A and B are shown apart, each in its own frame.
Chain A
Amino acid sequence: MRTMDQKLLDSLAFYSTKPNGLIPFYHKVQEEIGYIPKEFLPQIASSFNLSQAEVYGVLTFYADFRTKPPGKNIIKICRAEACQANGCHKVIEKAKETLKIDFGGTTPDGKVTLLPTFCFGNCANGPSVALNGKLYGRVDTRKIENLIHSIR
């Protein structure tokens, strides 16, 4: 079973004193270990003086938070309207076909997780794709193949 390391325990001590510290703490955990293990919830709940149902409810409400470890690399592709107008469906198809996974999936070798996003604010330079947090604009099928190739 996974437990919190000292760094996270310090963060927990810090954020649990704030009336709205739960969401920033979740961000912190995910930043540190890539996801938010459900095993942490009882301890989080008691530190924040909330019920387990409450902390779980917050965790699952927000699309950013994951309760399972993602692949080593995360590719996010925008599927919102402005990118659609610039043909993002072709980029999405290419990614799914190359990786042989659907949105939300992780390749069997654990290397890549593919996620949809609703707008990066890069609409004027779409289609938009983020690889491990770095944003790429004007992405076409060739560029997405190169991006995938760069991490495989």
Chain B
Amino acid sequence: MHTLYIAKDYSAIAVGADEVAFAVEKEAFLRNIPIRIIRTGSYGLYWLEPVIEVELEGGRRIAYGPVTEEAIGSLFDSGFLEGSDHPLCLGNLQEHPYLKKQTRLIFERIGKNDPLSLDSYIACGGFQGLKKAIELGPDKVIDQITKSGLRGRGGAAFPTGIKWKTTQRAIASQKYIVCNADEGDSGTFSDRMVMEGDPFLLIEGMAIAGFAVGADKGYIYLRSEYPLAHEVLNKAIAVCRSQGILGSPLFGSSFSFDLEVFLGAGAYVCGEETALLESLEGKRGMVRPRPPLPAVKGLWGKPTVINNVITLASVPWILSHGGEAYAAYGVNRSKGTLPVQLSGNLNYPGLVEVPFGISLRDLVYGFGGGTRSGRPLKAIQIGGPLGPYLPEHFLDILLDYEELSKIKGIVGHGGIIVFDDQTNLAFMAHYAMEFCAEESCGKCTPCRIGSTRGMELMEKILMGKGSRKELELLFDLCDTMLHASLCGLGGMTPFPVLSALRHFPEDFGYSKEEICAFAGAL
């Protein structure tokens, strides 16, 4: 019996992983060769998907990719089940520099096993963090999280330990853990990969959070664009319930935790935590004014910890290895690792988990291999649709929350999108305004009206009708949006717009000097 591994990951399936798995099965049947195919998460070397890994004696694996249905006959002919050479042979993926240069703490298991096999999760260190947490007790769990220096990976980078402490201290009959799995930022997919590739990890992280703050009920607010993640999460929850991990006292304690998945309905603003809560309560996703903080008054008015998927998925490792071990990775106030998502015009787009402190250049060129088109890189956008566009000479900046904020950049959810010189940044600025207008919840005027006005101004500028007056209006508008919006959607849309203007004025039909007159606003 030969064992093969093929990813069952939304992005791998999008490029044919299901068809490849089916074709391999069929070919093996025709050739009378007994095989078994284990569907896994993806390692995140996406340009190579669909990948087939063949298990050899001793458990070593040899990979082939990107495999097409047409190549399967020749793979069998060449004896790939014995690990023979073939033009598609990639060798042992664990030795591939793209994987080898990473520091995989969160993603350590993803790609290797069946995500829904509880046995293999436990065999690979699963639930060690939760057991440790129960041994330590809530206060010490929060101490470890605080010591680790973990900051929210959803975008705002708020220290997780402080957030948990606030909810722990709040006195209430009911508290909640809400996982923000709305992952609305273009260019990001790490949450999806965790949910599809290692769902028990997220469940464990949420259970630890629940134990620490005294919340016995959790929700995962999942965007509707992720049907596979939805299916995998629901199956994983069912497995945990049947094995007494969810809904029953945990590992000898008196604490029990249960959770369910709630599906969003296509609203970007519902990634913002208070809009998310409104939506989770069954209402329109309108942003709530703060205070009160959700940590004190959240879901149905009860103290609620809201954390991003990656934040929660970092927690089990921190507990099982200790907060200090986690804090040993990274730099300054940016501790630990970040799963960076590389996409856009790149040779090697994918998921790269690295400690903070790596340069953007190492990410874009070292891992990403530069533009796929072979044309000069013009700009990167870092931090999602509300992040700035940065030109090539900013690539020496280090991945570090504070370093990036010095140049008005953000880490956001860790997405980096690369654009080549065919891109017109004025178009991208227009798109940013359009996106904001499209997705605005409508609660405040700077965002609702401002984004529409911004779109109109950008249209005029794009048609070559931009004069100094339009420029002045645009800067005024951005200033109002920056300072008077209730949430980050309106408040950060000026980032991509102003950065594009500042670094690429010629795309807007303005000279550097004309833009520099507004230096204060930039």
Contact = CB atoms under 8 A, between A and B. Distances in A.
Give the one of A19, A64, A82, A136 with max B CB within 10 A: A82
Given A61-B267, A85-B423, A119 B282 contact: no
B265 A64 contact: yes
Interface string A97-117: 000000000000000000001
Contact of A81 (B226, B267, B417): B417
A22 B385 CA distance: 29
B283 interface: yes
A62 B267 contact: yes
B262 A20 contact: yes
B265 A63 contact: yes
A13 interface: no
A57 B286 CA distance: 11
A118 B186 contact: yes
Interface stretch (B6-14, B162-170, B506-514): B6-14
Interface string A9-40: 00000000011111110110000000000000
B263 A81 contact: no
Contacts of A58: 282-284
A24 B428 CA distance: 35
Contact of A121 (B49, B183, B279): B183
B265 A125 contact: no
Contact of B184 (A23, A119, A126, A136): A119
B282 A81 contact: no
A71 interface: no
B428 A81 contact: yes
Nearest to A58: B284
Contact of B265 (A65, A133, A135): A65
A3 B226 CA distance: 30
A80 B265 contact: no
B266 A124 contact: no
A118 B265 contact: no
B431 A123 contact: no
A125 B349 contact: yes
Contacts of B192: 121
A64 B189 CA distance: 20
Interface stretch (B322-330, B340-348, B461-469): B340-348
Interface string A124-137: 11101000010111
Contact of A19 (B300, B351, B438): B300
Interface residues of B, number: 59
Contact of A119 (B15, B225, B349): B225
A138 B11 CA distance: 10
A27 B261 CA distance: 14
Contacts of B381: 81
Given A20-B281, A57-B284, A119-B186, A124 B224 contact: no
Contacts of A136: 14
B430 to A, nearest CB: 12
Contact of B279 (A23, A27, A83, A137): A23
Contacts of B435: 118
B47 A124 contact: yes
B284 A61 contact: yes
B475 interface: no
Given A22-B282, A58-B284, A124-B342, A117 B225 contact: yes
B418 interface: yes
Interface in B438-465: 438-439
B209 to A, nearest CB: 21
A73 interface: no
B504 to A, nearest CB: 15
Nearest to A120: B225
Contact of A133 (B186, B227, B438): B227
Nearest to B350: A124
B224 A64 contact: yes
B5 interface: no
B519 to A, nearest CB: 27
Given A19-B282, A82-B187, A123 B15 contact: no
B11 A122 contact: yes
Contacts of A63: 265-267
A86 B263 contact: no
B343 A82 contact: yes
Contacts of A64: 224, 265-266
B10 A62 contact: no
A104 to B, nearest CB: 12
A141 interface: no
B262 A123 contact: no
A143 B187 CA distance: 22
Given A27-B265, A58-B283, 20 more contacts: A23-B262, A58-B282, A58-B284, A62-B285, A64-B224, A81-B417, A82-B187, A84-B428, A85-B417, A85-B418, A86-B344, A118-B435, A118-B439, A122-B11, A122-B14, A123-B186, A124-B351, A125-B11, A125-B15, A125-B46
Interface of A: 18-24, 26-27, 54, 57-58, 61-65, 80-86, 117-126, 128, 133, 135-138
Interface of B: 10-11, 13-15, 44, 46-47, 49, 183-189, 191-192, 224-227, 262-268, 279-285, 300, 341-345, 349-351, 372, 381, 385, 415, 417-420, 423, 428, 431, 435, 438-439
21 contacts: A19-B281, A19-B300, A23-B263, A23-B279, A24-B263, A80-B385, A81-B186, A81-B385, A81-B417, A81-B428, A82-B343, A82-B415, A85-B344, A85-B417, A85-B418, A119-B185, A122-B10, A124-B46, A124-B189, A126-B343, A137-B11
